[in-house]
Amino acid sequence: MSERVIISGGRVVDPANKRDELADVIIENGRIADVLAHVSTKTKRNGNGASNGATVIDAQGCIVAPGFVDLHTHLRQPGREDKETIETALRAAVRGGFTTVCAMPNTEPAIDSRGVVEMVRQEAQRVGLADAQVIGAVTIGRQGKELTPFAELFEAGCIGLSDDGSPVGDSLLMRRALEYARMFDRPIIQHAEDSQLAAGGVMHEGAVSTRLGLRGMPGAAETVMVARDIALAELTGGWLHVAHISCAETVDLIRDAKRRGIRVTCEATPHHLALTDAAVGDFDTLAKVNPPLRADRDRRALAQGLADGTIDAIATDHAPHTDWEKEAEFDQAPFGISGLETALAVCITELIESKALTWLQLIERLSTAPAKIARLAAGSLAKGAAADITVINPSLRWRVQAAQFASKGRNTPFDQKDLIGRAVAVLRNGRVVYGL
């Protein structure tokens, strides 16, 4: 079986190389050999390795993009394999078009030492499918008290550090973390939440929480910390990456910080782009997430931020939970949405269909920019790059069936919803890992 693959007749959208045109992608030995403007389909159509001994994938009507990179995934292994394992998560990832995921360290034990980093990477390698990078913890055990051994973690391959799930609350500690991480040119990824302001909150503080009598988390809990961290980034010259932003005011703060030349990047999730606090409805725990789904003005500000580049990346914050945990009373149910398998479709339905983003912009946010933030040689279809490719049917209408997810986590507010667009084939290192 030849190692030569041709993805033929698709619309190649490759922001890294400023390409958006009908083209054929030629893959040899797991790498991109060439990308040629598409001439005709006649000579290529043969399916089983006729033309020059190559396998041809007919991508007519499809978008061909570099494989997506998720900066924010919770693999749950080690410790909570009932919610998800590395294997089920990676299967979910490729179904969603992701060829690389970055694992958050809030596992049990936390990823705060070389040993756990290696364990995760080895298991991911054994599974194959998508690539799993690791984000190490900022503090030991994510307790927020002592810094982890940064050098050891980065040497083991961490692409950034975060205490995600919790903020780094102590301002002095955050300052030190930003300063220290400077020499590795890696970001501190902050889950921006003032713990006291948000304490006890279970959804966005607004008209819906007031009516339902549920304790709210005000937007100020996020913006207060973002403002603090921007000041610290300015002070230290360090690299701040704000995880899963949710407020209009946060977008404004970051836009202003970037304008002033401060090194800050950030990400937003598909569910924050698509939904508001109204999704909680009759106490639906599937809409319980942290940061919470907020008001319509926040949602619109996030879309605007993605369009003008204030928000660099779209990240899923994939957070699988067991069915029975999510069945608990709203107060007690865990926060989180299982997002890998719906991310692309939600983005297409919300952003492409409404023309808020162009395809070039969307692929930039899903692939190119996150690859840059993780400093990976991914997110590009340049000659010589690893052939991590996602083929998308941009107009396929389908109904989300969470019961059929590859992820163990069925917890999504998009279950039974009709969405547009889906990955139909995913290649990693030139091998098909999903679809076809």
Active site residues: 317
Helices (H) and strands (E) in the chain, counts: 14, 18
Among 332, 395, 401, 416, binds another protein (CB under 8 A): 332
> Does residue 261 belong to the site contacting another protein (CB under 8 A)?
no
**DSSP per residue over 8-47, as a string?**
EEEEEEEGGGTEEEEEEEEEETTEEEEEEE---STTT--S
**Binds another protein (CB under 8 A): choice among 18, 42, 172, 282:** 282
Shortest Cβ 50–another protein spacing (Å): 54
Q: CB under 8 A: which stretch of 168-176, 219-227, 325-333, 395-403 binds another protein?
A: 325-333
Please give the backbone phi and psi of residue 314, each rounded to the nearest 5 degrees, phi first.
-100, 125
Minimum distance, C-beta of residue 7 to another protein, in the bound complex (Å): 46
Does 278 bind another protein (CB under 8 A)? Our answer is no
Instruction: Assess 335 for contact with another protein (CB under 8 A).
Output: no
Is residue 331 within the footprint of another protein (CB under 8 A)?
Answer: yes
Of 266 and 280, CB closest to another protein:
280
Closest CB to another protein among 211 and 259?
211
Q: What would the two tokens of residue 308 be?
A: 């003008």
C-alpha dist (Å) from residue 411 to 341, 342, 401: 11, 11, 11
Select from 179, 325, 353, 415 the one that contacts another protein (CB under 8 A).
325
Q: Which of residues 158-177 bind another protein (CB under 8 A)?
A: none
Give the residue with the Cβ less far from another protein, 183 or 207.
207
Q: Nearer Cβ to another protein, position 115 or 281?
A: 281
Residue among 40, 48, 261, 324 that touches another protein (CB under 8 A): 324
Q: Say which residue the tokens 């994939």 belong to.
A: 318
Max CA-CA distance within the chain? 67
Considering the complex, what minimum distance in angstroms separates the CB of residue 150 from another protein? Answer: 34
For another protein, give the closer residue by CB, 40 or 196: 196
- Residue 273 near another protein by CB under 8 A: no
- Pull the structure tokens for residue 126: 């054994």
Assess 39 for contact with another protein (CB under 8 A): no
Least Å from the CB of residue 81 to another protein: 16
Angle 380-359-12 from CA coordinates, rounded to 5°: 50
Task: Kindly state the number of chain residues that form the binding site for another protein, as judged by CB under 8 A.
Answer: 19
Question: Which residues contact residue 214 at a Cβ distance below 8 angstroms, ignoring those fewer than 6 apart?
Answer: 202, 203, 280, 330, 331
Contact range with another protein by CB under 8 A, out of 29-37, 63-71, 246-254, 328-336? 328-336
214 vs 425, beta carbon nearer another protein: 214
* 415 in contact with another protein (CB under 8 A): no
User: Nearer Cβ to another protein, position 261 or 282?
Assistant: 282
Looking at this protein, which amino acid is placed at residue 261?
A: G
* Shortest Cβ 213–another protein spacing (Å): 3
- CA 183/CA 251 separation, integer angstroms: 27
DSSP state of 104: -
Interface characters, 196-215, with another protein (x: CB under 8 A): ---------xxx-xxxxxx-
Tell me the C-alpha to C-alpha distance, in Å, between residue 281 and each of 94, 201, 208, 278, 347.
31, 17, 8, 6, 22
Q: Does 235 bind another protein (CB under 8 A)?
A: no
Instruction: Tell me how far apart the alpha carbons of residues 315 and 365 are, in angstroms, rounded to a whole number.
Output: 9
Q: How far is the CB of 104 from another protein (least distance, A)?
A: 22
Neighbours of 246 (CB within 10 A): 29
319 part of the interface to another protein, by CB under 8 A: no
d(CA 260, CA 266): 16
What Cα–Cα distance (Å) separates residue 416 from each residue in 95, 263, 394, 405? 17, 41, 19, 12
Contact in structure between 124 and 101 (CB atoms under 8 Å): no
SS3 (DSSP) at 367: helix
**Site residues (CB under 8 A) for another protein?**
205-207, 209-214, 282-283, 324-325, 327-332
